[in-house]
A and B are shown apart, each in its own frame.
Chain A
């Protein structure tokens, strides 16, 4: 899985730390970090929560082009 730079950028855009996003989404900072590093594939439920917190759509944060897609 490739790094999720879109999530990192959206978080920076809102001037939020990983900890702040984690608190708002109700998960640990370790989980947000793992998602950004591409080490953890979150459930759709968590993706939606993160999208709501950051005011973005699923496509904007989690859509990957075919060549980057891997499990």
Chain B
């Protein structure tokens, strides 16, 4: 059809590659900015944050899900990371620590009580650690399964 003929890419391979790089940078900048915006709004709106952040949260989680499913389908773990239990344990620990620190600031600003902040930090940090480890373990096993499928494809002879 004529409409689709006109929709064909007008770029050559180098321009296409450059555009993809640019789009990739754009995606990660937007992702980072969205995360930062969610965090700042949580600190500003405090208890009311849930009311205002639903949309951002859905978009953020949907983009993460899209990336995870896409990477598993392609049999890609990450650019530099090693797909091992040790590495996901470390990532989960860092995520738990980062969340703990953020929640400490959030709770201190909301309630002004150091003791409550410290208790919730421990709970939030531990919960994040467990959830992260669970999600990453599931992703790791899905990745390994997919990798095996892809490596088994085609004729080796």
Contact = CB atoms under 8 A, between A and B. Distances in A.
Interface stretch (B10-18, B24-32, B93-101, B142-150): B10-18
B11 to A, nearest CB: 8
A38 B12 CA distance: 17
Interface string B76-93: 000000000000000000
A46 B15 contact: no
B14 A34 contact: yes
Interface of A is mostly: loop
B12 A40 contact: no
Interface stretch (A7-15, A24-32, A55-63): A24-32
B13 A43 contact: yes
Nearest to A39: B14
A22 to B, nearest CB: 8
Interface range, A side: 10 to 19
A43 B14 CA distance: 9
A41 to B, nearest CB: 9
A46 B14 CA distance: 10
Contacts of B12: 26-28, 31, 46
A30 B14 CA distance: 9
A51 to B, nearest CB: 16
Contacts of B14: 27-28, 30-31, 34, 40, 42
Contacts of B13: 27, 31, 42-43, 45-46
A66 B27 CA distance: 37
A45 B13 CA distance: 10
A70 B12 CA distance: 24
B105 to A, nearest CB: 44
Interface of B: 12-15
21 contacts: A26-B12, A27-B12, A27-B13, A27-B14, A28-B12, A28-B14, A28-B15, A30-B14, A30-B15, A31-B12, A31-B13, A31-B14, A31-B15, A34-B14, A40-B14, A42-B13, A42-B14, A43-B13, A45-B13, A46-B12, A46-B13
